[in-house]
Amino acid sequence: MSITSRLSCLLFAVSAISSPISHRAVDGLNTRAVAAGKEYFGSATDNGELSDIPYLEGLSNTADFGSITPGNAMKWDTIEPSRGTFNFANGDTIVDLAEKNGQLLRCHTLVWHSQLPSWVSNGGFDNATLIDIMVNHITQEVTHYKGKCYHWDVVNEALNEDGTYRSSVFYDTIGPAYLPIAFAAAAAADPEAKLYFNDYNLEYGGAKFNAALEIVKLVQSYGAKIDGLGFQGHLIVGSTPSRSSQESNLNKVAALGVEAAFTELDIRTTTPATEAAVAQQAKDYAATVGACAAVEKCVGVTIWDYTDKYSWIPSVFQGQGAALPWDENLQKKELVYNAILEALS
Ligand code: 9MR
């Protein structure tokens, strides 16, 4: 343990002893993040998990989580499964939970090629009609959640790995203008929400990251509001970029006058995880969270659920997982958890 972290532990212990019990600060990921000048440390969640009471208790612990993100409840296939029919029930459940717990909400996501109903992707709409459909979807959803969403992931995963635009019904029909049109519609429906473009594999720098910076500039050039770039942060143990290179990426975002956040952080490994892998994972979490802590414009970190029990990884990457700071039995991985705490100090 470093001298500074020993000092802060000592100071915490002293202040805990000298404070009346009712005012004793509880140390956790979110309280540390806020003490470090960040806006929150958060977790994704999903409706099906909320009946798991021990899970729910952990998620609702605001010492660790000051923000939650619906993993699926606000996606197009859930919200508007057929044209003009809106189903806000699952999203409302997550909103109510955040309100009850006093947590912020990162709302996710309005325009994405995936989890998009086929009436949109295969509708054969012309440019003007698809713009109407997209703007209507955004307007209805953002208006429904007006005042509830601290952040909105307005457009998700618009890029290929080489930095070209991903083919999707939106890009193929409307062209790159679908991005500023989407951001303008979201801003009109809720001027207070912070609006993000969100994508994965931006953490490595390079072509995809540079293209994400160009998207920020594109939206700005249309005069539409964009507030932030979301780094999803689906990383790999042992291949996570260094803290300094992640800091340099975050500084490039800040130079465009917008903020940044890690929006879906998890760091996967081969399962079962070896002791060496967990030790490396702790360092990789520290590199990423530490980079955010060091750059003022990085406002917060969200992990993509907090426990391996509900991680998406094993279903998509066979033989991979153990990506989160809590294990499948909802037990904290002390090494990883403490490394994040320390990175926030
Ligand atoms: O966590 C989500 C999982 O439950 C869904 O099955 C999956 C379907 O695509 O989406 C997951 O969340 C994704 C997020 O919305 C966007 N970035 C990648 C995430 C992991 O797939």
- How far apart are the C-alpha atoms of 192 and 227, rounded to whole Å? 11
- Catalytic residue (choose from 80, 157, 203, 259): 157
What residues form DSSP beta bridges with 111?
155
In the reported structure, the alpha carbon of residue 311 is separated from the centroid of ligand 1 by a whole-number distance in angstroms of 10
Cα end-to-end distance, the chain, whole Å: 12
CATH of the domain at 42: 3.20.20.80
User: pLDDT exceeding 70 applies to what percent of the chain?
Assistant: 93
- Catalytic residue (choose from 39, 247, 264, 342): 264
Which two tokens mark 62? 């605001």
13 occurs within a structural domain: no
pLDDT digits (tens, 9 = 90+) for 183-230: 999 999 999 999 999 999 999 999 999 999 999 999 999 999 999 999
74 occurs within a structural domain: yes
What residues form DSSP beta bridges with 90?
none
16 occurs within a structural domain: no
Residue nearest ligand 1's atom 15 by CA: 71
What is the enclosing helix (H) or strand (E) of 121? helix 118-121
79 occurs within a structural domain: yes
Residue at 104: amino acid letter: L
Residues 6+ apart with CB under 8 A from 135: 181, 182, 185
Contact criterion met (CB below 8 Å) for 24 and 17: no
3-state secondary structure of 256: coil
14 occurs within a structural domain: no
**Ligand 1 pocket, mutate which of 159, 232, 264, 302 (most atoms under 8 A from CB):** 264
The domain of 143 spans 29-344
For the CA of 108, the closest atom of ligand 1 is 15
pLDDT digits (tens, 9 = 90+) for 239-295: 999 999 999 999 999 999 999 999 999 999 999 999 999 999 999 999 999 999 999
In the reported structure, the alpha carbon of residue 304 is separated from the centroid of ligand 1 by a whole-number distance in angstroms of 9
Q: CA 99 → CA 61, 74, 94, distances in Å? A: 13, 16, 9
Closest by Cα among 209, 70, 97 to 152: 70
Residue at 128: amino acid letter: A
Contact criterion met (CB below 8 Å) for 237 and 190: no
> Residue 242: its pLDDT value, please?
98
- Who lines ligand 1 at CB under 6 A? 71-72, 114-115, 156, 232, 264, 312
pLDDT digits (tens, 9 = 90+) for 78-100: 999 999 999 999 999 999 999 99
Q: What is the 3-state secondary structure (H, E, C) of 164-197?
A: CECCCHHHHHHCCCHHHHHHHHHHHHCCCCEEEE
> Residue 8: its pLDDT value, please?
40
> Residue 95: its pLDDT value, please?
98
> Residue 26: its pLDDT value, please?
80
**How many distinct structural domains can be found in the chain?**
1
Query: Does 157 or 16 have the greater pLDDT score?
Result: 157
163 occurs within a structural domain: yes
10 occurs within a structural domain: no
- Check pLDDT > 90 for residue 20: no
Active site residue 275: no
183 occurs within a structural domain: yes
Active site residue 264: yes
